[in-house]
Amino acid sequence: MKTAYLALGSNVGDRDTNLAHARAHLAAQDMRVTRVSSVYETEPRDVTDQPWFLNQVVEVETELFPRQLLSRTQKIERLMGRQPTRPKGPRTIDIDILFYGQAIVDTPSLEIPHPRVADRRFVLEPLAELAPDLRHPATRRTVREMLAQVAHQKVRSTGFSL
């Protein structure tokens, strides 16, 4: 079994329910959700003319290989009604693979660790709740160290842990 960390994000429709449905789908798809962070509300980045996001990180255990895990997460996104729109635009659900054990994967369709994990407080804040001492396999920096570098970015906890 491998431990993977997945980032969930939603800014369309009932965002809380979307996160809950994504977690339920993950638990039914060859993996076990072992821990869940609090939920954070974050301002959109890059494409700012859209609703705010709810973000959360889940820890899963799985026997799926990285590409299989990507296929499952993309299937869940489609099942939940994610439509291809503009890049970084509004979405019912977004599921990103942040880490997969200590694996480093670099293919045209998949990069693990997520290539922008160190630049995103909305990912690092909830990830730090679950694994503050987890080390990035390439940079060797901990989640806690990466979070300190992006502390200036605005993120607010909703106070909810779903």
Active site residues: 82, 91, 94, 96
What is the β-pairing status of strands 53-62 and 156-157? unpaired
CB distance 128 to 144 below 8 Å:
yes
List phi, psi (to 5°) of 149.
-75, -20
How far is Cα 58 from Cα 123, in angstroms, rounded to an integer? 11
Q: Of all helices (H) and strands (E), which one includes residue 76?
A: helix 66-79
Output the six-digit token pair for 41: 């509300």
How far is Cα 8 from Cα 28, in angstroms, rounded to an integer? 16
How far is Cα 123 from Cα 126, in angstroms, rounded to an integer? 6
How far is Cα 46 from Cα 62, in angstroms, rounded to an integer? 32
**How many angstroms separate the first and last alpha carbons of the chain?**
24
